[in-house]
Amino acid sequence: MCKMTPDEDGIPFITRTATNNGVGGIVEPVEGVTPYPAGALSIALGGSIGSTFLQTKEFYTSQNVAVLQPKSNLDSGILLFLARLIEKECSKRFVAFGRELNKHIKRDFTIKLPLIEKDKPNWPLIASIVKDQIIPQLPKKAQKVWLQKYDTKPQLQEKIKLNTQDWKWFRYDEIFDIKHGFYNKKPEDNPEGDIPFIGATDSNNGVTSHSDLETIANTTKTGDGSNSPMDEKLFSANCITVSNDGSVGFAFFQSKEFTCSHSVNPLYLKGHEINPYIALFLCTLIEKERFRWAYGRKWRPIRMPSSRIKLPVTPSGEPDWQFMEDYIKSLPFSRNIEPSKPNEVVDELVEMKKEMIKMRRAMEAQQNPSNLVNYGTVNIYEK
């Protein structure tokens, strides 16, 4: 790829990365070189070994990526199913800088499939498994991906280009209200819980598990043995979470109330209401600074305020939030981004649960004053 010429209107170049559907960049067409056709699978042979993606556009790649072109007409659901099987098989049998896939992809690499007869895969059965068992269990947006029904068009038709020379540096504490994560140890996992737990991970929007209000209320004790306030454990929606150790610098927009590890910094925008479009713009810029926190350096809240972020600005020198929103809306696939619309019924239930927990704690405190609980500035026992 280092020999290619970038061109935002060109052809995807597939690398060995495990992210972004394998796309390392968009490049100019090369005269005399025919791109691979859409509908093929790409597999990383080294690096992120086994990372397999369905390419929906024609593409280029290099010698460390294999291209699998189906010998029969297979729909996207089957191809995504095969991609997942390939990744699972590679995770068990191959390792980077040791036993890599290069020598094995054409020689002895196999996956296990149901057969109609010897060496003839049962594609109708696989299609029915995908359609009837896998897709219905996926989130709605993931279902659109498997069914190839997501909207590829931008919300705004006007193309907007970035010119970072006119941007301005800001300290993080000028832009964000920086909060501290709470847990040294995460609360007990409850797969049926409605409160996401955000950890120092690079995937799944930062969510490593789920919990519930009862578990959260009972998890961490203060020095005198009483429970710390619920308000210290829960963070409101519409903010960006940034991991400060582990997978340092990965940033995600949180659209619902959550709790998080002390390895996460919740960031709330100052002076302007955040939305998914602005958040995606900011998350990308935040992650561009990840290289500063490698090799054991932690991006704790004590260091983050003095960190700097470069943003587009208005003529008066203030952050240009409208430009950030419009830029994201001008990108392909932006029609799939949904504005934050909190579920009022769910919010009401969550608030009711909080009040019920407070009432139960108050009753316990009346029975045993040594278990006195403080919630913010209100003394529940005296109240």
Given 91, 115, 146, which residue is the final one in a domain? 146
Percentage of the chain lying above the pLDDT 90 cut:
49
Any idea what DSSP says for residue 133?
I
Residue predicted with more confidence, 350 or 189: 189
What is the full DSSP assignment across 206-227? GEEEEE-HHHHHHH-B-TTSSB
Residue 365 lies in a domain: yes
pLDDT digits over 81-121, tens only? 999 999 999 888 877 667 778 788 888 888 999 998 888 99
Write down the pLDDT at residue 345: 41
Q: What one-letter code names the amino acid at 171?
A: R
Q: Total domain count for the chain?
A: 3
206 within 8 A of 264, measured Cβ to Cβ? yes
Question: 202 and 223 in one domain?
Answer: yes
Residue 20 zone, left/alpha/beta (φ > 0; ψ -120 to 50; rest): left
Write down the pLDDT at residue 382: 39
- CA distance to 207, 220, 232, 257, per residue, from 354 (Å): 22, 16, 13, 13
Tell me the average pLDDT across 362-376: 51
21 within 8 A of 53, measured Cβ to Cβ? yes
pTM, full prediction: 0.68
Write down the pLDDT at residue 119: 82
Residue predicted with more confidence, 190 or 27: 27
Question: 315 and 287 in one domain?
Answer: yes
Question: 349 and 217 in one domain?
Answer: no
Question: 241 and 194 in one domain?
Answer: yes
CA neighbor of 67 nearest in space, from 108, 24, 105, 100: 105
Any idea what DSSP says for residue 371?
G
Beta bridge partners of 178: 267
Report how far residue 305's alpha carbon sits from residue 353's, in angstroms, rounded to the nearest whole number: 35
Q: Residues 6 or more apart from 94 whose CB is under 8 A from it?
A: 49, 50, 100, 101, 104
Residue 158 lies in a domain: no
Q: What one-letter code names the amino acid at 95?
A: V
- Retrieve residue 331's tokens: 């990108």
CA neighbor of 216 nearest in space, from 241, 182, 262: 182
Residue 154 lies in a domain: no
Given 117, 146, 175, which residue is the final one in a domain? 146
- Above 80 in pLDDT, residue 251? yes
Q: What is the CATH number of the domain that holds 89?
A: 3.90.220
Residue 153 lies in a domain: no
pLDDT digits over 12-48, tens only? 999 999 888 999 999 999 999 999 999 999 999 988 8
Write down the pLDDT at residue 217: 74
Any idea what DSSP says for residue 380?
T
Q: What one-letter code names the amino acid at 165?
A: Q
pLDDT digits over 58-72, tens only? 999 988 899 999 998
Question: 176 and 78 in one domain?
Answer: no
Q: Work out the pLDDT band at 351, boundaries 50, 70, 90.
A: low
Domain that holds residue 296: 164-336
Q: Work out the pLDDT band at 185, boundaries 50, 70, 90.
A: low
Q: What is the CATH number of the domain that holds 264?
A: 3.90.220.20
